[in-house]
């Protein structure tokens, strides 16, 4: 033990105050467990500080500006000017409100908050190094622990992150000005969301993607709609190219060098380079091995269906525990971890985790695609409703996209949905509920939906799958 260490004990130690950790801590405290939450940086984790929330703020801001300037067809004429500094300031205010809210909620539920970086020193102890010089450290002993240390953007060799040239998503969300030319490495969901945002803010955006399309896992008809819209916004795509290096250009900007698999090289002139090629788990400094916790070769902590690691009283939730690496999945896992620790029969038995991409238009998916369902041994039936047949979609001016619902033909159980179009991120929630409840197409179709809303399209898609849609031709 380090001289000057103070040892205190807690029943439940949660490491990391992101959407997995703070939820686990609050639920554990609600269950009457003495709970301590250690956070080295900011409450709310990457999601609230550098991810979901700030990106959605900028997406909304940029979307509003773009929309206002492109509504002549409705008779609206405007030429909005964007004050990027102000927009970021507003975004920071939103983030502050949420993060301080998380802190207050933790306190109100009786969670002990400790600022610092935790490292395991044994199966039942961590040392917490407090931030700043001479702040010292303390040893905490625990009965149960929840590792919720999250993830950070993956760096590629030669592309170290820095505010004035190579951005990660974090820097892209804190920019004071809009670069004239933005090079985006990676056409995944983060790359596409930010490419769309900056295109709407007036940047010339070039996306470089190693694969031959954007948004790799999605079905072609989903990708096509998003890609087409991005191209309309002026985004330029280069597929089959990997970023190899960058250099300074004589004009004061930078050159982004790429290479195809065949060795063909290209160069793009840009003012900033955004690298968005994925996220990796954060376990450095944590020393999980000291507690006997195993990580896989990518650094993720392996867990079972009760979120337990190989060391049974230590759980891991959220991004650090691997896929699906989504904030809402992390929260779900955090709740399960706390309840398992409290001795309840909780388990990760979710049937489907919905996912949303906040591109233009949005994508919302949950559960299985038709192909997934076939692979899983179902006899799938599919129903679709295009938004151009939706009255409400027409009144918003956004009619691209569709709702597709996948079900088991025999029993009618809803298995999945792919929605691309306005408010797809919201619409997907209904289908997620249907899947968890074991609802059938008939249940969804016979539920009265408000008119006129986009949600009617879900009902119509369910009817279409049953061959009796009213507003589309049944296939």
Partner 1 sequence: MTIKEFKLPDVGEGVAEGELVSWLVAPGDRVEEDQPVAEVETDKALVEVPSSYDGTVEELFAEEGEMVPVGDVIISFRVDEEGDAEAGASDDADSAAASDSEPDATADEADASAGDTAPDAEPAAESEPDTPSGRTFAPPSARRLARELGVDVAAVDGSGPGGRVTEADVRAHAEGGAAASGGGSDGDAPTPRPAPTDTGSGERKSAVSKRGSADSAAGAGGDAPEPAGRETTLATPATRKVARERDVDLDDVPTDETRDGEAFVTAEAVNAYADALESPAEPTAEPEPVDAEPADAEATPEPAATAAAAASGTASTERDGDETVPYRGVRRTIGKQMERSKFTAPHVTHHDTAEVDALVEAREELKPKAEARGVKLTYMPFVMKAIVAGLKAHPYLNSELREDEEEIVLRREYNLGIAVATDAGLMVPVVDDVDEKGLFELADEVNDLAARARERKLKPDEMKGGTFTITNFGAIGGEYATPIINYPETAILGLGAIEERPVVREGADGDSEVVPAPTLPLSLSIDHRVVDGAIAAEFANTVMEQLEHPLLLLTE
Catalytic residue ranges:
451
Q: How far is the CB of 267 from partner 1 (least distance, A)?
A: 21
C-alpha–C-alpha distance, residues 15 and 285, integer Å: 12
The dihedrals phi and psi of 117, each to the nearest 5 degrees, come to -110, 125
Report if residue 383 touches partner 1, rule: CB under 8 A. no
Q: Report the nearest approach of partner 1 to the CB of residue 226 (Å).
A: 11
- Distances from the Cα of 382 to the Cα of 116, 117, 251, 366, 418, angstroms: 51, 49, 53, 14, 11
Contact track, partner 1, 419-438, x by CB under 8 A: -----------------xxx
Contact call for residue 187 and partner 1 (CB under 8 A): yes
Q: Residue 318, interface with partner 1 (CB under 8 A)?
A: no
How many residues at the interface with partner 1, by CB under 8 A?
Answer: 67
CA distances in angstroms from 257 to 154, 171, 242, 331, listed in the order given: 19, 21, 8, 39
Tell me the Ramachandran region of residue 171: left when phi exceeds 0, alpha when psi lies from -120 to 50, beta otherwise. Answer: alpha
69, with CB counted inside 10 A (0-12, 13-18, 19+), is middle
Distance CA 205, CA 236 (A): 6
State which of positions 386-415 bind partner 1 (CB under 8 A): 408, 410-413, 415
Q: Which of 6, 446, 470, 474 binds partner 1 (CB under 8 A)?
A: 446
Among 357, 393, 454, 455, binds partner 1 (CB under 8 A): 357
**Taking CB under 8 A as the rule, does residue 126 contact partner 1?**
no
Q: Is residue 299 a contact partner of residue 321, using CB atoms and an 8 Å limit?
A: no
Phi, psi of 224 (to 5 degrees): -60, -45
Task: Find out whether 432 and 456 touch, Cβ atoms under 8 Å.
Answer: no
Is residue 376 within the footprint of partner 1 (CB under 8 A)? yes
Smallest gap from residue 259 Cβ to partner 1 (A):
16
Contact region for partner 1 (CB under 8 A) — 40-48, 248-256, 360-368, 452-460?
360-368
Alpha-carbon distance of 461 to 454, in angstroms, equals 12
Q: How many CB atoms lie within 10 A of CB 228?
A: 11
* Residue 154 near partner 1 by CB under 8 A: yes
221 part of the interface to partner 1, by CB under 8 A: no
Buried b (16+ CB within 10 A) or exposed e, 187-220: bbbbbbbbbbbbbbbbbbbbbbbbeeebbeebee
β-bridge partners, 272:
182
142 binds partner 1 (CB under 8 A): no
**Per-residue mark of binding to partner 1, 249-288 (x: CB under 8 A):** ---------------------------xxxx---------
Sign of CA pseudo-dihedral 327, 331, 332, 337: positive
What secondary structure does DSSP assign to 415-433, as a single string? EEEEEEETTHHHHHHHHHH
Contacting residue, 442, 449, 453, 471, with partner 1 by CB under 8 A: 442
Q: Per rule CB under 8 A, is residue 6 in the interface with partner 1? A: no
463 binds partner 1 (CB under 8 A): no
164 binds partner 1 (CB under 8 A): no
Nearest CB to partner 1, comparing residues 15 and 368? 368
List 218, 246, 268, 402, residue binding partner 1 (CB under 8 A) = 218
Q: Which of 6, 68, 78, 347 binds partner 1 (CB under 8 A)?
A: 347
324: helix, strand or coil: coil
Stretch binding partner 1 (CB under 8 A), from 3-11, 100-108, 226-234, 365-373: 365-373
Asked if 417 touches partner 1 (CB under 8 A), the answer is no
Among 375, 391, 394, 470, binds partner 1 (CB under 8 A): 375
Q: Which stretch binds partner 1 (CB under 8 A): 120-128, 253-261, 357-365, 449-457?
A: 357-365
Is the Cβ–Cβ distance between 98 and 53 less than 8 Å?
yes
- Per CB under 8 A, residues contacting partner 1 are 154, 186-191, 209-211, 214-218, 276-279, 296-298, 302, 322-326, 329, 345-347, 349-355, 357, 363, 365-369, 372, 375-378, 408, 410-413, 415-416, 436-440, 442-443, 446-447
């Amino acid at each position: 033990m380090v001289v000057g260490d103070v040892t205190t004990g807690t029943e439940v130690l949660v490491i990391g105050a992101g959407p997995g950790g703070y939820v686990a801590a609050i639920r554990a405290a609600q269950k009457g467990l003495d709970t301590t939450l250690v956070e080295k940086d900011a409450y709310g984790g990457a999601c609230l500080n550098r991810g979901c929330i700030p990106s959605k703020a900028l997406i909304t801001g940029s979307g509003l500006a773009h929309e206002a300037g492109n509504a002549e067809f409705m008779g609206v004429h405007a030429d909005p000017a964007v004050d990027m500094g102000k927009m970021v300031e507003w975004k920071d205010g939103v983030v502050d409100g949420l993060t301080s809210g998380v802190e207050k909620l933790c306190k109100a539920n009786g969670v002990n908050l400790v600022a610092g970086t935790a490292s395991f020193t044994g199966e039942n102890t961590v040392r917490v190094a407090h931030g700043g010089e001479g702040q010292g450290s303390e040893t905490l002993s625990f009965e149960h622990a929840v590792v919720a240390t999250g993830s950070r953007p993956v760096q590629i060799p030669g592309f170290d992150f820095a505010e004035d040239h190579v951005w990660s998503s974090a820097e892209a969300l804190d920019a004071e000005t809009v670069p004239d030319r933005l090079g985006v490495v990676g056409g995944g969901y983060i790359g596409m969301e930010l490419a769309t945002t900056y295109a709407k803010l007036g940047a010339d955006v070039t996306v470089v993607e190693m694969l031959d399309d954007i948004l790799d896992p999605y079905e072609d008809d989903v990708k096509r709609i998003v890609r087409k819209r991005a191209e309309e916004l002026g985004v330029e795509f280069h597929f089959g190219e990997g970023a190899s290096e960058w250099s300074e250009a004589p004009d004061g900007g930078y050159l982004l060098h790429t290479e195809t698999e065949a060795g063909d090289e290209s160069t793009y002139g840009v003012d900033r380079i955004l690298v968005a090629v994925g996220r990796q788990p954060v376990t450095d400094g944590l020393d999980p091995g000291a507690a006997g916790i195993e990580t896989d070769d990518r650094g993720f902590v392996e867990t079972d269906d009760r979120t337990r690691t190989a060391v049974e009283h230590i759980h891991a939730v959220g991004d650090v525990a691997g896929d699906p690496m989504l904030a809402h999945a992390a929260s779900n896992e955090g709740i399960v971890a706390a309840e398992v620790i409290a001795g309840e029969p909780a388990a990760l038995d979710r049937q489907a985790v919905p996912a949303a991409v906040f591109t233009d238009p949005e994508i919302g998916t949950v559960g299985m695609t038709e192909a997934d369902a076939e692979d899983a041994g179902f006899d799938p039936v599919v129903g679709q409703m295009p938004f151009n047949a939706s009255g409400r979609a027409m009144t918003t001016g956004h009619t691209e996209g569709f709702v597709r619902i996948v079900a088991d033909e025999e029993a009618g159980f809803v298995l999945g949905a792919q929605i691309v179009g306005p408010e797809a991120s919201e619409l997907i929630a209904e289908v997620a509920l249907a899947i968890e409840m074991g609802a059938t197409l008939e249940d969804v179709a016979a539920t009265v939906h408000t008119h006129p809303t986009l949600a009617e399209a879900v009902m119509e898609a369910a009817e279409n799958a049953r061959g009796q849609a009213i507003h589309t031709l049944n296939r």
